[in-house]
Amino acid sequence: MDFRMEHDTMGEIAVPADKLWGAQTQRSFENFPIGQEKMPADLIRAFAVLKEACAAANCRLGKLDDRRFALIRQACQAILAGELEGNFPLAVWQTGSGTQTNMNCNEVIAHYGNAQAGQALLHPNDHVNMSQSSNDTFPSALHIAAVTSLHQRLEPALTEMIRCLQELQEENMAVVKTGRTHLQDAVPITFGQEISGWRSMLEHNLDMIATSLEGLYELALGGTAVGTGLNAPLGFEVAAAEEVSRLTGLPFCSAPNKFHALTAKDALVFSHGALKALAANLMKIANDVRWLASGPRCGLGEISIPENEPGSSIMPGKVNPTQCEALTMVAVQVMGNDTVMGIAASQGTFELNVFMPVMALNYLQSVRLLSDAMTSFTRRCLAGLKPNKEKMAENLHRSLMTVTALTPIVGYENGAKIAKLAHKENISLKEAAVRLELFTPEAFDGAFHPETMI
């Protein structure tokens, strides 16, 4: 491998000749050989948006000349277009402020811009990082990445799942089945009503996520190192936020208190809490589906789901609810990520939180996993879900809890006697009611209609 020599304030260091990063990136790359987790690509793209926005703001305010701004913008657009992949090698497990990732972006943008210009017009710190600090750029980039990933990935996946459930609900509103509480038989419900509960859960989750966006739209830009705005020109924080909004089409704004914006990560915790709530509901829905589909002969067997692949390497013909299993594993991972988010956010010491890279990893992983898993579950499971109407009817008429329909006539205690006798003797409710001389056969038939109990 060929190398070139780069320098920073600590001296010279060899950098791979085919890479655009500089000395500070190389030092981080060598000093933190920890794990396999790299800075998320969504965060790098957010940094590209941020660096272009800051350059535009500096140009508007007379701090940066037009030519340098154009070079920075060209480099940022190349990052967003995916043309500079392979130039962002740093581990998540680095400085907790994300300084080295900020400098990685600064160095790549400067080297790319200088190559386009054919001369050294851009300095990573003096021009690309003008009016900024890692301490205000990293949390701002994290907010930009969080918001854009929610809008671009999670909301479409969640909306698609809601639409699918709405269609299933309408198709099955007249299909009556036994309800269940405590994993025990309960009074009847329609399958459409059951599905409507799933749909409503996700609609509430969508509202929760939308509510959490308010805090994420606030940007720390302009706070620089400790929140005082040192070395940033007057009006920079507002101008930079306006430029981010222009580039993204989203209502980002300048955080009203930069001291809060640098040291507190409560907006991310609040937003991830909405993701955890979504994960909890997805866990419930996936579990309901695999319980209802259990069998095919020795389980509930009230629904069928698509058979996507063989389920066993030893048992021929076995098919498993694999999409449910994948979704529930994702839910568990997101719940674990939420613990990391809460602990990391609690570690704001004095003027800065230095757990930001791990928060970026966990938040963006949760969004991506939830989005991908919901899309897969919707298309490969829910879309092909079918009720077994015969099995539902059989279970409905065998259920002892349909005796509840008789209690207005014979009372709670006599109703219990009917149910217990039917269960003990393994006979129908009708047989038990007649044997106890509480109903004649004709009176029972006139009073007992499980389908009307919904």
| Share above pLDDT 90 across residues of the chain, in percent, rounded to a whole number | 98
Distance between CA atoms of residues 273 and 396, nearest Å: 38
- pLDDT tens track for 81-91: 999 999 999 99
**pLDDT tens string 408-448:** 999 999 999 999 999 999 999 999 999 999 999 999 999 99
What tens digit of pLDDT does each residue of 201-235 get? 999 999 999 999 999 999 999 999 999 999 999 99
Note whether 389 and 126 are within 8 A (CB).
no
Q: Render pLDDT for 328-369 as a digit per residue (tens, 0 to 9).
A: 999 999 999 999 999 999 999 999 999 999 999 999 999 999
Give the model's pLDDT for residue 450: 86
| pLDDT at 290 (0 to 100) | 98
For 105-157, the pLDDT digits (tens) are 999 999 999 999 999 999 999 999 999 999 999 999 999 999 999 999 999 99
Could you write out the DSSP letters of every residue in 297-335? SSS---EE----S---SSSTT----HHHHHHHHHHHHHH
Q: Is the pLDDT of residue 1 over 90?
A: no
SS3 223: coil
Residue 402 in this model has a pLDDT that exceeds 90: yes
pTM surpassing 0.85? yes
The pLDDT of residue 451 is 85
The residues carrying an active-site annotation are 182, 312
Task: Report residue 362 as tokens.
Answer: 């966990």
